Amino acid sequence: MSNEKNQSTPADRHHAVGFIIFVLGVGTLLPWNFFMTASQYFNGRLKAPNNASNVTSEGTSKDYNYDSWMALLSQLPLLLFTLLNSFLYQWVKERFRVAFSLVVIFLLFSLTAALVQVPMEPDTFFSVTMATVWFINMFGAVLQGSLFGVVGLLPSQYSTLFMSGQGLAGIFAALAMLFSILSDTDGSSDALGYFITPCVATLVTLLCYLLLPHLEFARFYLNRSQSDKVETVQKLLGRTDEKVSRNNAKDLEANGKLFSVQEENQERSSVFAVFRKIWRMALCVTCVFAVTLSVFPVITVRVQTIYTDSKAWKKMFTCVCCFIVFNTMDLVGRSAPSLAQWPSKESCLFPVAVLSRLVFIPLFMLCNVQNSRLTVLFSHDCAFAIIMALFSFSNGYLASLCMAYAPQLVRCKDCETAGSLMTFFLVLGLALGASFSFLLGKLV
């Protein structure tokens, strides 16, 4: 009886593993989201009106193009190191990759928080900030790719929880932006609060990750290859006695009786072999995020409210109707696959649903965009909010389905490779969307 119980799938007691996976999802994107919400602080530091080093020969303030450089120096390392992580996983242990990445991200945000109170020349501050952006995304890419690989070893609903956690990180960032608008504190105090929060969150994420292997449910799936190994030995011996232990299996392996069979059983497929199995999901997740980043936020932040008489609402409109609505509905979309998953991974309707999101590009361009060259068809605030809600829900829902479906298309031993590859194509979609946004910005 005891052996039968040990061989059955353990329960996720008190949903502890689910909670940890959700926290890991939050931790992967929370630091970067808070980094983005502090853009006003960074631009303020770079203006430095009383500093002569910030004045050009024409007597005007130097334009550092902070937002453009931040986008470039975030997407490039994110793309490169996500691809690199797809190959490095075979040589560097996942536990070291995740822990080391979290420690470095914590140190970088601690440095950024400390520099809030340190006077610096704008040129020096810009260089330090851009270096921080580069390294935070470099290690963030390794972190996300590794954690997606880990989550791919668990049942598919845990991929949904992980994606939901990432969606919640955006809500925190949006609320932080709203509080900064409503507060009367100076920008320096706001920035200090921004960067202390992701420091604490990164530490919590690290502790949760270190706790994960000690939970029976997680250990069962993370070490499932060992269980499969013993089961294979038992079947090959033709024994029905359930008292065959792991030690007996190891003894047989040492004697060379089952070496060739087990070696074949443990062999992992190549990266390209895995890609051939998941290519449709990879292209779908690329398309989902390419459409999203092509209009959000470059077009959406330019949409104005029609209630220009209300100064308070005018200040909050973009934060509420753009960022809060997007992140809230994106989170709902990421969570929805835990209740229903449609279309199925085999259905031809799945790529059709992904491509149908292209309609959101002209819809946003026809909203009440500031100084738009196009005819405004959706001028009311409610119209913009409804379009944004559908746009963000479909983003979260379809992206979550892609990430959950991909590991189901490969063998258990290839789940980590599939997760890393899917993360690369996710980031590729972000990079393509960000690049395409420059063209759409000029067309509006």
User: Radius of gyration of the chain from Cα atoms?
Assistant: 24
Give the orientation angle of helix 381-405 with respect to helix 415-443, to 10 degrees. Answer: 150
Q: Reply yes or no on whether the pLDDT at 233 is more than 60.
A: no
pLDDT tens for residues 37-59? 666 677 778 876 545 455 555 55
Structural tokens at position 416: 């980590």
Superfamily for the 273-444 domain: MFS general substrate transporter like domains (1.20.1250.20)
pLDDT tens for residues 262-303? 434 557 788 899 999 999 999 999 999 999 988 887 788 889
Global pTM reads 0.71
Average pLDDT of every residue of the chain: 80
Residue with the bigger pLDDT between 68 and 320: it is: 320
Residue 271 backbone zone (phi > 0: left; psi -120 to 50: alpha; other: beta) = alpha
The pLDDT confidence band at residue 93, using thresholds 50, 70 and 90, is confident
Domain ranges of the chain: 11-51+63-221, 223-266, 273-444
Residue 298 identity? V
CATH number corresponding to 11-51+63-221? 1.20.1250.20
Give the orientation angle of helix 224-237 with respect to helix 246-254, to 10 degrees. Answer: 70
Same-fold call for 11-51+63-221 versus 273-444: yes
Q: Reply yes or no on whether the pLDDT at 127 is more than 90.
A: yes
